[in-house]
């Protein structure tokens, strides 16, 4: 089941400024955001939506203004070019894992269900969570647990994984949880959420894909076009915030002759938009959501 999209009205309010315009939904999922965008467009308007998950294709919208592209949003520019589109009026990306993917136990995204270690958003790719846990070198495991899971004990955790996989292959989410039985019960939910997040980001190359999409989004947006991004953890939000501020992910941005930073975007609001308490009560996934909107200069 695809649950209600997060920050639906707020995101589409920020996004659609021209009812005759061309818009992109980078993360189609159950189609909630896409349907709302189409509701704001005239007969001349056009929407291109992306999703790499084959399950999302089942939700295709029957509307002549709508095109669904079965592709990772890291291929945004080339995929749109194949449809004759070089510039757009607005781009929306609702990042992370959909409720549907969490609810499909066999996909291995959820810490609540015992399932094969998978976590692939695109089930056609070869790299999955099982390969990472059982094949990655200890140092590589430690790095991804530290950087993507923000786990300070990453080296100890990586050693634990390597020790256990020598005894027996770690095949399921329950196998993985059992080897960390030393984590106190009151800390387990947060801990496993961080471990699963780290593995999932690596499986799907989520941060690299996000960087590539953001750079391409800037190129194809018209001047005054809107980029709206909803993120669910600090790693994503940091990248989005920095990119909207100065068009970069790291390093020092260029200054003009007056010493001012050269800006790529103007922020629509200085602070991130977050869901209110009623939306969080209705949809627990909304709890960690942060939305940022940039206007291309």
Using alpha carbons, select from 99, 108, 34 the residue that is nearest to residue 66: 34
Domain 8-99+207-296 CATH (choose: 3.40.50.970, 3.30.460.80, 1.10.3720.10, 3.40.50.150): 3.40.50.150
- Report CA torsion sign: 128, 213, 295, 80: negative
| pLDDT band with cut points at 50, 70 and 90 for residue 250 | confident
Query: Which tokens go with 33?
Result: 């955001």
| pLDDT band with cut points at 50, 70 and 90 for residue 105 | low
What is the CATH architecture assignment of 110-204?
A: Orthogonal Bundle (1.10)
**Mean pLDDT, the chain, integer:** 92
* CA dist., res. 70 & res. 24, Å (int): 13
* CA dist., res. 133 & res. 99, Å (int): 24
**Beta bridge pairs of residue 22:** 46
Give the distance, in angstroms, between the CA of residue 132 and the centroid of all CA atoms in the same chain. Answer: 20
Which residue ranges make up the annotated binding site? 31-33, 51, 73, 94, 101
State the pTM of this model: 0.92
| pLDDT band with cut points at 50, 70 and 90 for residue 1 | low
| pLDDT band with cut points at 50, 70 and 90 for residue 98 | low
pLDDT at 11: 98
Task: Residue 76: count other Cβ atoms within 10 Å of its Cβ.
Answer: 27
- Cα 81 to Cα 1, 67, 88, distances in angstroms: 32, 13, 11
Query: Which of 154-163, 196-205, 231-240, 276-285 has the weakest average pLDDT?
Result: 276-285
Q: Which residues of 134-149 are buried (b: 16+ CB within 10 A; e: fewer)?
A: eebeeeebbbbbbebb
* CA dist., res. 282 & res. 279, Å (int): 5
| pLDDT band with cut points at 50, 70 and 90 for residue 125 | very high
**Beta bridge pairs of residue 173:** none
Determine phi and psi for 265, rounding to 5 degrees. -130, 155
SS3 for the chain is CCCCCCCHHHHHHHHCCCCCCEEEECCCCCCHHHHHHHHHCCCCCEEEEECCCHHHHHHCCCCCCEEEECCCHHHHHHHHHCCCCCCEEEEEEECCCCHHHHHCHHHCCCCCCCCECCCCCCCCCCCCHHHHHHHCCHHHHHHHHHHCCCCCCHHHHHHHHHHHHHHCCCCEHHHHHHCCCCCCHHHHHHHHHHHHHHHHHHHHCHHHHHHHHHHHHHHHEEEEEEEEEEECCHHHHHHHHHHHHHCCCCCCCCECCCCCECCCEEECCCCCECCCHHHHHHCHHHHHCEEEEEEEC
- Comparing 26 with 255, the larger pLDDT belongs to 26
Listed by start position, the domains of the chain span 8-99+207-296, 110-204
Which residue ranges make up the annotated binding site for S-adenosyl-L-methionine? 31-33, 51, 73, 94, 101
pLDDT at 262: 78
Residue 100 has pLDDT above 60, yes or no: no
């Amino acid at each position: 089941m695809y649950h209600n999209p997060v920050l639906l009205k707020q995101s589409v309010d920020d996004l659609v400024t021209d009812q005759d315009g061309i818009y992109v939904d980078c993360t189609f999922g159950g189609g909630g955001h896409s349907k709302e965008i189409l509701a704001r467009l005239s007969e001349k308007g056009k929407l291109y939506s992306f999703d790499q998950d084959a399950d999302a294709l089942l939700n295709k919208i029957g509307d002549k203004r709508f095109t669904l592209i079965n592709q990772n949003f890291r291929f945004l520019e080339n995929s749109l070019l194949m449809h004759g589109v070089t510039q757009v009026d607005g781009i929306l990306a609702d990042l992370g894992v959909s409720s549907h993917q969490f609810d499909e136990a066999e996909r291995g995204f959820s810490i609540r269900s015992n399932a094969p270690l998978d976590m692939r958003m695109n089930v056609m790719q070869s790299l999955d969570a099982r390969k990472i846990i059982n094949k990655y070198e200890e140092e590589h495991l430690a790095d991804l647990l530290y950087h993507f899971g923000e786990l300070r004990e990453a080296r100890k955790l990586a050693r634990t994984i390597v020790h256990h996989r020598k005894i027996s292959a770690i095949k399921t989410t329950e196998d993985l949880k059992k080897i960390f039985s030393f984590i106190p019960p009151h800390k387990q939910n947060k801990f496993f959420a961080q471990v699963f997040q780290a593995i999932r980001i690596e499986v799907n190359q989520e941060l690299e894909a996000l960087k590539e999409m953001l750079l391409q989004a800037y190129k194809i947006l018209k001047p005054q076009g809107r980029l709206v991004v909803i993120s669910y953890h600090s790693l994503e939000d940091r990248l989005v915030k920095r990119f909207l501020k100065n068009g970069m992910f790291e390093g020092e941005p260029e200054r003009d002759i007056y010493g001012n930073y050269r800006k790529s975007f103007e922020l629509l609001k200085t602070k991130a938009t977050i869901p209110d308490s009623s939306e969080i009560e209705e949809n627990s996934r909304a709890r960690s959501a942060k939305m940022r909107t940039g206007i291309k200069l």
